[in-house]
Structure 1
Amino acid sequence: MPADKQPYPSVWARPQRPRREQPLLSREQIVSAALELLDAEGIGALSMRKLGTRLNAGATSMYTHVANKDELIELVVDEVYGEVEVPAADDPAGWRAAITRCARSMRAAVLRHPWIGSVLGEAGVAYLGPNVLRQNEAILAVFEQGGFTLEAADRALNTVVAYVIGVSTSEAAWLTTLARSGRSEQEWVESLWPAAEQAVQDYPRLRKLYAAQRDQNLSAARDDEFDSGLECILHGLVARFAPEGGTS
């Protein structure tokens, strides 16, 4: 079926094309090479032509698996989601611990692949990818184990994922800027600190906060801030939906 005649232009909505012979490249090889290119050079560097050159392959070999760049991005996004730890509903530590580990793993995946934040809203129907589906099914099961109804579990899933993606995408952008500068996080902040202190002189609350944060370990502070925000999210979900066993 031609891409423009599909009900929705997506690699997940398109029937697989019949193969008359064994293709020179596998889908796995194409996705792996695209992921390496994206991690090394960012989303602006990705093109079917450049990927073909990297794989030493013609367009025909790649178009056996993907119709265009958009489909390729769907595949690569799902590959990244495959790195996320899938929580277990019967986790002896309880549902909160399972969701927390999954959220931390999702954040880590975004930080390993900082380009992903720029394509999540454009990745077609990425939520139909097998890794995303497996992850979401597992998260729903964990929330149900914690006493949430299926409908409440769906709301909770969306809330947690929105929090993780929002925080980690901003964090990834910051770390990407640092990497381009050639400075460490501590060096960057030290160079900026005099201007920051001067800027908040007329704002007593900000001045107090900045002073308290002056010598903190920045990496550890980001970890703590993420965990603290996630804990607030989980407490809020319990308060909103009042599930049985929600305190565990």
Structure 2
Amino acid sequence: MPRETLNRDQIVEAAIELLDDEGIEGLSMRRLGKRLNSAATAMYWHVGSKENLVVLAADRVWGEIELLDPVRTGWRTAARALVQDTYAMVKRHPWLVPAISTYFVHGPGMARFQNHSYAVYEAAGFKGRDLDWAVNTAFTFVAGTALLDATQAAAAKAKTSDPANRTDEIAAQYPRLRERTAVLSGADAAELLSRSFAFGLDTILDGLEARLRGEGGEDGEGGAAGVPSIAGTSNAVPGLLH
């Protein structure tokens, strides 16, 4: 595809496909150009650099999340859907969490997600710093779960590819870890992951409801006493709203 027939949207969409297949390490202008039947120079001409392309791709995938109206559905239904859809999106694009921890990603897609996150927890009754922290808590749960998924996948791959892997031997030295490893080893991984995610999400939503009922303490702005604010942090990780 010659440079003059390409546009930025086509390149970003192709980059997302390549990132899904190969991860950030597998993305290069040469490989992307080959996928688009064009020269690598055309990629640079349209998007500037690999770093900028990753940022564009990361911001684009945030637009995949469906946003439910919290006033119409109720805040808890909207919050649950937002967390579930965000997690599903991250699962489709496992390179995203590493990308936002490495690059400054902020554009229309991310801003749309952030604005809706505020709307959901504002509809619940949160305000001030508690509103920031409610949004942060939900996003941190998704990002943390995604990192745990990646860690578990890497561990499984290591055990399969390296006969000398010592993870079980190391775990056996610690009684609680040894016990839980033995119990979990026979479980269905997909079912366990689904139940774990549901447990975590329910726990977060229950805890947020408890704070709304006044069971979490106050600091004069609706926040928990003694909890430091990250409001105003200029380098806050995109998605961890400040």
Q: Which moved more, 1:95-104 or 1:25-34?
A: 95-104
Could you give the per-residue CA deviations for residues 109-149 of structure 1, whole angstroms, max 9, x where no partner exists?
A: 2222222232211222x13x111111111111111111111
| In the alignment, structure 1 residue 98 sits paired with structure 2 residue 69 | no
Aligned residues: 210
Q: Indicate the residue corresponding to 1:5 in structure 2.
A: none
What is the RMSD of the two structures over their aligned residues, measured on CA atoms? 3.1
Q: Among residues 89, 95, 98, which one is paired with 1:118 in the alignment?
A: 98
Partner residue in 1 for 2:49: 68
Say whether residues 1:135 and 2:113 are aligned partners. Answer: yes
Which residue does the alignment assign to 1:231? 202
Provide the residue aligned with 2:231 in structure 1. Answer: none
Structure 1 residue 165 corresponds to structure 2 residue 138 = no
Gaps of 5+ in 2: 215-242
Quick one: distance in 2 between partners of 1:230 and 1:23? 48
Structure 2 Cα separation of the partners of residues 140 and 109 of structure 1: 19
TM-score (normalised: structure 2): 0.73
1:173 and 1:214 map into 2 onto residues whose CA distance is 16
2:60 pairs with one of 79, 87, 90 = 79
**Which whole-Å CA distance do the structure 2 matches of 1:78 and 1:140 have between them?**
18
Aligned position for 1:222: 193
Structure 2 residue 31 is the aligned partner of structure 1 residue 50: yes
1:114 counterpart SS class: coil
One-letter amino acid of the structure 2 residue matched with residue 215 of structure 1: G
Aligned amino acid, residue 142 of structure 1: V
1:152–1:65 CA distance, 2 compared to 1 (3 A): farther
Identity of aligned pairs, percent?
A: 37
* Matched AA of 1:86: L
TM-score between both structures, scaled by the size of structure 1: 0.71
Q: Matched residues in 2 for 1:116 and 1:62: separation?
A: 21
Distance in 1 (alpha carbons) for counterparts of 2:128 and 2:5: 44
Residue pair 2:12, 2:53 contacting (<8 A) in 1 also: yes
Distance 1:175 1:80, change over 3 A: farther
